[in-house]
Amino acid sequence: MFKYSLVGYDGSPSSQRAFQTAVALARCGQGRVRVVSVLQVTEGGADACALMMADSSAQRAQELLDELAAMEPDARDMIDVEVTHGSPGDVLLGQVEQRGADHIVIGHTERGTLARWLLGSVSSDVLARAHVPVTVVP
């Protein structure tokens, strides 16, 4: 069973289901869940992003932990959270290496062809490049 599952979380219904799936798996194997919320800044560049993150990341991380604990109240002790910035796929795959995650759980929201072409698909990117098992939750 998985010992350390990584969840990409953006607050969407599919990411909420991904989180709940990861918690259920962690309970089966006495594992942990790391939830990563990636803020993607499209304007203002790296300097603006760094300033924004320094001002709000600790507060946002606490808010995220509270939100997750409200969904799964008895799971608070098995959850680690991080709010960071960057490209979601790159951040999630980097977390696998940095944190020793042995599993990724990610939500997937069906988009139209144009939106997928313009924005990409985090789940497709992660599936294509991951070196650990990936569970995609609709």
The percent of residues in the chain predicted with pLDDT above 90, rounded, is: 58
pLDDT(72) > 80: yes
Report the range of poorest mean pLDDT among 29-33, 36-40, 70-74, 132-136. Answer: 36-40
Over residues 56-72, mean pLDDT: 90
Domain count within the chain: 1
* pTM of the complete model: 0.84
Residue-number span of the structural domain to which 14 is assigned: 4-137
Q: Cα-atom radius of gyration of the chain, to the nearest Å?
A: 15
Give per-residue pLDDT as tens, 34-62.
999 987 765 555 655 565 555 567 888 99
- pLDDT of residue 30 exceeding 50, the answer is yes
CB atoms closer than 10 angstroms to residue 93: 20
Which of 12, 10, 34 is closest to 22 using CA atoms? 34
For residue 63, the tally of other CB atoms under 10 A from its CB is 14
pLDDT at 59: 85
Percent of the chain predicted with pLDDT > 70: 80
* CATH number, position 30: 3.40.50.620
Q: Is the pLDDT of residue 117 over 60?
A: no
